[in-house]
Amino acid sequence: MHSRPCYALPPVRGTYTDQAPLKDLVWFRAGGPAETLFRPADVDDLATFMAARPEDMPVTVIGVGSNLLVRDGGIPGVVIRLPGNFGRISAEGPRVRAGAAALDAAVARAAADAGIGGLEFLRGVPGTIGGALRMNAGCYGREIKDVFVEAAAIDAKGNKIVLKADDMGFVYRKSAAPEDLIFVEAVFEGVRERPDDIRARMNALVEQRESTQPVRSKTGGSTFKNPPGHKAWQLIDDAGCRGLMRGAAQVSEKHCNFLINTANASAADIEGLGEDVRAKVKEKSGVTLEWEIKRVGVP
């Protein structure tokens, strides 16, 4: 990549950082830099940037990188990371309004404190609301589409738009919302319940997750989607991949659908290990695993 961007960056109130390291911003702790990292000051600043940017400028949005692999060559163009003021959470009646940078777990806790049940599954989803909207995140039998009311986003031209459920087109682990939308806020609806009852369910969910998943490791969460009629981890285990390594990347011994950076693995090692797993599963079962982790950037 160029040492400095070759694009004319529009004036903003937020910050630009050239050749910004990303590995410390993603859970895998691997990968290359952003050509330019943009942190907008607020929604208006983001809209101004999108409206004024050159049309051919590549734009990539990242959250906390919980389900993201940045390749070793980094990400060309501009990487947008929404700062903390995009993470405000408020409750009204049975509804929760959350900024796109809000952690899923923080939204679950805020809902519980407000006596809003039905959102506790978010406590088990790593990452932010923006990413959860994009991939219809879920666990333990519930997903975003079950609680979704509406979302606000900035489009490629800098317009602020509101999306209802039909606009989102939620299916298993993805949304049909246009790729160039940048989510800035969402509203979810649960049911009124006693906070203590909600917290009890949430704590049980956390205990289950921590006992079955390598949550303390440098990982990207669930690596592959569950194919229809199958569980990805079972297929991976049956193919003999538990503990399989490439460089410092390893298939988790605790949960086979997690890849782990055991030391200083390159993104190429992690992605290559994932492809090794896909090949072995295909050979053993005839099933082609589909990546759930989003892989971005250049090798």
Greatest Cα-to-Cα distance within the chain, rounded to the nearest angstrom:
55
Task: Decide if 66 contacts 126 (C-beta within 8 A).
Answer: yes
The predicted model gives 224-246 an average pLDDT of 97
Query: Do residues 32 and 122 both lie within one domain?
Result: no
Judged against a pLDDT cut of 60, whether residue 88 lies above it is answered with yes
Q: What is residue 3's predicted lDDT score, i.e. its pLDDT?
A: 42
Are 115 and 127 in the same domain?
yes
Does 10 fall in a domain?
Answer: no
Which among 184, 210, 236 is the end of a domain?
A: 210
Residue 217: both structure tokens together: 């490791």
Residues 234 and 283 in one domain: yes
* Number of separate domains in the chain: 3
Half-sphere exposure for 282 (CA within 13 Å, toward CB): 9
Tens digits of residue pLDDT in 150-205: 999 999 999 999 999 999 999 988 999 999 999 999 999 999 999 999 999 999 98
Kindly state the average pLDDT of the residues 15-27: 95
**Closest alpha carbon to 36 in 15, 50, 55:** 15
For tokens 């219809």, name the residue. 136
pLDDT over 70 for what percent of the chain?
Answer: 98
Q: Which of 256, 248, 299, 253 lies closest to 277, judged by CA?
A: 256
Instruction: Please give the mean pLDDT across all residues of the chain.
Output: 94
Residue 2 above 80 pLDDT?
A: no
Question: How long, in residues, is the chain?
Answer: 299
The SS3 assignment for 100 reads coil
Task: Specify whether 175 is located in the same domain as 72.
Answer: no
Asked whether residue 152 is domain-assigned, the answer is: yes
pLDDT at residue 106, rounded to an integer: 97
Given a cut of 70, whether residue 1 has pLDDT beyond it is: no
Mean pLDDT of 46-59: 94
Q: Is residue 1 situated within a structural domain? A: no
Q: What is the model's pLDDT at position 46?
A: 98
Closest by CA to 277, choosing from 249, 228, 236, is 236
Are 222 and 247 within one domain?
yes
What is the arithmetic mean of pLDDT over 233-254?
97
Q: Does 67 lie in the same domain as 38?
A: yes
Q: What is the pLDDT of residue 124?
A: 87
Tell me how far CA of residue 277 lies from CA of 212, 238, 243, 270, in angstroms: 20, 11, 11, 11
Instruction: In whole angstroms, give the CA distance from residue 214 to residue 156.
Output: 37
Q: Give dist(CA 130, CA 177) in Å, integer.
A: 12
Last residue in a domain, options 173, 193, 210: 210
Q: Where is the domain boundary, 40, 67, 84?
A: 84
Q: What is the pLDDT of residue 210?
A: 78
Residue numbers annotated as active site: 173, 222, 292
Is residue 2 domain-resident? no
pTM: 0.90
- The reported pLDDT for the residue numbered 6 is 54
Q: What percent of the chain has pLDDT over 90?
A: 86
Task: Give the side-chain half-sphere CA count within 13 A for 89.
Answer: 18
> H/E element holding 198?
helix 195-212
Res 213: pLDDT = 80
Question: Is 267 part of a structural domain of the chain?
Answer: yes
pLDDT of the residue at 4: 47
In the structure, what pLDDT confidence band is assigned to residue 233 with cuts at 50, 70 and 90?
very high
Phi first, then psi, for residue 112 (nearest 5°) are -60, -45
Question: Please, what is the end-to-end C-alpha distance for the chain in angstroms?
Answer: 11
Kindly state whether residues 64 and 109 are assigned to the same domain. Answer: no
34: CATH: 3.30.43.10
Which pLDDT score, from 0 to 100, does residue 139 have? 85
Same domain, 146 and 259: no
Closest CA to 67 of 132, 123, 1: 132
Residue 59's alpha-carbon distances to 73, 111, 181, 234, in angstroms, are 16, 32, 11, 36
The answer on 247 and 274 residing in a single domain is: yes
Q: List the single range of 1-15, 182-196, 274-288 with lowest mean pLDDT.
A: 1-15
Same domain, 61 and 111: no
Q: Give the model's pLDDT for residue 7.
A: 66
Q: What is the pLDDT, as a whole number, of residue 85?
A: 95
* Residue 142 confidence (pLDDT) above 80: yes
Task: Output the domain CATH number for residue 195.
Answer: 3.30.465.10
* Residue-level pLDDT at 140: 81
In a domain, 72, yes or no: yes
> C-alpha distances in angstroms, 250 versus 64, 151, 209, 253, 273?
22, 37, 20, 8, 7
Helix (H) or strand (E) holding 107: helix 104-113
Query: What average pLDDT score do residues 104-114 get?
Result: 97
Determine the structural domain holding residue 241 and report its residue range.
216-296
